[in-house]
């Protein structure tokens, strides 16, 4: 099967390309490099010892996309491409709506023209807003608190309507919880520009001394130690979930949402303590006030992924923090 991977040079996309290439798939990558680097292509080739085509282009460019679909016999698409910084989306909502919605609409339009109707879409647990009942099932109510989250929810609705209009489509909306960690080679991983917003890359920068200490955003939540609890999932486990999703859409015509999480919640202090223990390093921290918009606790009910995709996470929190540290050490400069 030939898979078009949009956003394939990004964090999750690059890890998924490795799993695809190491399995029975052919891969074509499309990315405009707005949040990733061209070097990733050669790193994927080095890790897998496999070759594949890369097109540097914006997904919103309909003609260029059409050219790719005419040249390549694509069987299915995994659509990672999108902007993902929550804070930036609040400052620049039009950029987020334009980029994320236009690129998905253009992609679906061209897929339709070429009768390629199998799609795996990167959604997010952000579409659950704040939930009272945990763990979170896919049937939970949906709401968002920022433009980034709204783009994910709107795209989910667009895909639902597309399927309703033509049930030859087969679509899986994967709702990721908190992807962390890196490939064991240390060649690829999460490499945000500037000061990281997310916890794990921030902890890594503190661990190597690039930042003096971690700000722990609040210790007065109603959680086991007062700090925020999340469902951290190893990016390699997450990548493997996409292969299971492809197997599912290849056999079924459906449009479904599926959580990809471990089902276990860890607090900020769990992360800090585990990072210190596994990597034998100090991670200084200070308790500060809560971050606006943060929720206390969020973790997945991962039953549906097990039942429908026969997928569940395998790697532990130790594996996550070990690979995150290995990546930052190897990519310090
Ligand atoms: P990333 O930024 O590393 O990768 C996204 C890639 O898409 C980048 O390489 C970027 O250059 C590319 N891109 C963006 N807009 C494009 C466009 N118009 N045309 C072509 N390429 C474009 O992000 P990631 O962490 O790998 O996330 C992948 C997907 O998963 C995103 O859609 C994101 O919203 C979603 N997601 C991520 C997380 C997370 O914590 N990382 C959680 C939930 C959902
Ligand atoms: C963030 C995004 C969310 C996205 C998710 C996936 C926000 C508001 N939300 O969620 O839309 O789907 O990433 O990756 O950005 N923390 C600290 N100090 C820090 C950074 C984080 O204490 O410097 C805490 C947070 O308060 C939270 C936990 O660590 O309790 C995880 O934070 P983060 O990694 O930013 O992820 P989310 O908040 O879950």
* Of 83, 67, 49, nearest in space to 4 by CA: 67
CB of 6 within 6 A of ligand 2: the answer is no
Mutating to test ligand 2, I would choose from 127, 199, 238 the residue with most ligand atoms within 8 A of its C-beta, which is 199
Rounded CA gap, 297 and 230, in Å? 6
Concerning whether 55 is annotated as a catalytic residue, the answer is no
pLDDT at residue 90, rounded to an integer: 95
CB of 326 within 6 A of ligand 1: the answer is no
3-state helix/strand/coil string of the chain = CEEEEECCCCHHHHHHHHHHHHCCCEEEEEECCCCCCCHHHHHHHHHHCCCCEEEECCCCCHHHHHHHHHHCCCCEEEECCCCCCHHHHHHCHHHHHHHHHHHHHHHHHHHHHCCCCEEEEEEEHHHHCCCCCCCECCCCCCCCCCHHHHHHHHHHHHHHHHHHHCCCCEEEEEEECEEECCCCCCCCCCCCCCCCCCHHHHHHHHHCCCCCCEEEECCCCCCCCCCCEECEEEHHHHHHHHHHHHHHHHHCCCEEEEEECCCCCEEHHHHHHHHHHHHCCCCCEEEECCCCCCCCEECECCHHHHHHHCCCCCCCHHHHHHHHHHHHHHCCC
Residues 6+ away with beta carbon under 8 Å from 65: 30, 57, 59, 106, 107, 110
pLDDT at residue 333, rounded to an integer: 67
CB of 144 within 6 A of ligand 2: the answer is no
pLDDT at residue 29, rounded to an integer: 98
CB of 244 within 6 A of ligand 2: the answer is no
| Residue 223 CA, ligand 1 centroid: distance in Å | 30
Rounded CA gap, 261 and 230, in Å? 10
Q: Half-sphere exposure of 193 toward its Cβ, with a 13 Å CA cutoff?
A: 9
Q: Tens-digit pLDDT profile for the chain (333 aa)?
A: 999 999 999 999 999 999 999 998 999 999 999 999 999 999 999 999 999 999 999 999 999 999 999 999 999 999 999 999 999 999 999 999 999 999 999 999 999 999 999 999 999 999 999 999 999 999 999 999 999 999 999 999 999 999 999 999 999 999 999 999 999 999 999 988 789 999 999 999 999 999 999 999 999 999 999 999 999 999 999 999 999 999 999 999 999 999 999 999 999 999 999 999 999 999 999 999 999 889 999 999 999 999 999 999 999 999 999 999 999 999 986
CB of 232 within 6 A of ligand 1: the answer is no
CB atoms within 10 A of CB 292: 9
* Of 198, 239, 93, nearest in space to 154 by CA: 93
* Structural domains of the chain, ranges and CATH numbers in brackets: 2-181+232-261 (3.40.50.720)
Mutating to test ligand 1, I would choose from 6, 14, 30, 34 the residue with most ligand atoms within 8 A of its C-beta, which is 34
Pairing mode, strands 255-260 and 170-176: parallel
Rounded CA gap, 261 and 246, in Å? 18
Q: Which ligand does the CA of 216 lie closest to?
A: 2
pLDDT at residue 208, rounded to an integer: 96
Ligand 2 atom at minimum distance from 196 CA:
23
Using CA atoms, how far residue 110 sits from 31, 32, 106, 151, 266, in Å, is: 16, 18, 6, 20, 41
CB of 203 within 6 A of ligand 2: the answer is no
CB of 293 within 6 A of ligand 2: the answer is yes
Instruction: Phi first, then psi: give them for residue 137, nearest 5 degrees.
Output: -95, 160
CB atoms within 10 A of CB 39: 11
Residue recorded with tokens 């992360």 = 271
| Residue 187 CA, ligand 1 centroid: distance in Å | 18
Rounded CA gap, 31 and 191, in Å? 16
Residue recorded with tokens 């929720």 = 295
Using CA atoms, how far residue 50 sits from 20, 182, 259, in Å, is: 11, 20, 30
Catalytic residue among 96, 148, 176, 299: 148
* Of 116, 17, 7, 11, nearest in space to 60 by CA: 7
Ligand 2 atom at minimum distance from 214 CA:
23
Ligand 1 atom at minimum distance from 59 CA:
19
Ligand 1 atom at minimum distance from 36 CA:
9
């Amino acid at each position: 099967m030939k898979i078009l991977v949009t956003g394939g040079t990004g964090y999750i996309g690059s890890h998924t390309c490795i799993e695809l290439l190491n399995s029975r798939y052919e891969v074509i990558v499309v990315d405009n490099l707005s949040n990733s680097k061209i070097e990733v292509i050669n790193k994927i080739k080095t890790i897998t010892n496999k070759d594949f085509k890369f097109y540097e282009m914006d997904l919103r460019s309909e003609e260029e996309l059409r050219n790719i679909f005419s040249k390549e016999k694509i069987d299915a698409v995994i659509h990672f491409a999108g902007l993902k910084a929550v804070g930036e989306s609040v400052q620049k909502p039009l950029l987020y709506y334009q980029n994320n919605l236009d690129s998905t609409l253009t992609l679906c339009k061209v897929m339709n023209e070429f009768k390629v109707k199998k799609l795996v879409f990167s959604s997010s647990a952000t579409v659950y807003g704040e939930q009272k009942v945990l763990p979170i099932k896919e049937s939970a109510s949906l709401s968002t608190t920022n433009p980034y989250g709204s783009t994910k929810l709107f795209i989910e609705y667009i895909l639902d309507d597309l399927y309703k209009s033509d049930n030859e489509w087969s679509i899986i909306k994967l709702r990721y919880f908190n992807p962390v960690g890196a490939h064991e080679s240390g060649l690829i991983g999460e490499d945000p520009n500037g000061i990281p917003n997310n916890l794990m890359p921030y902890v890594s920068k503190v661990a190597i001394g690039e930042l003096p200490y971690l700000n722990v955003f609040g210790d007065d939540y109603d959680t086991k130690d007062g700090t925020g609890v999340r469902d951290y999932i190893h990016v390699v486990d997450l990548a493997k979930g996409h292969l299971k999703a492809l197997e599912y859409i290849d056999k079924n015509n459906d449009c479904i949402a599926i959580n990809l999480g471990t089902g276990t919640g860890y607090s900020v202090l769990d992360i800090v303590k585990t990072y210190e223990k596994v990597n034998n390093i100090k991670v200084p921290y200070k308790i500060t006030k809560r971050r606006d918009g943060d929720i206390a606790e969020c973790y997945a009910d991962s039953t549906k992924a097990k039942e429908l995709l026969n997928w569940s996470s395998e790697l532990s929190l130790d594996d996550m923090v070990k690979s995150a540290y290995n990546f930052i050490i190897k990519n310090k400069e």
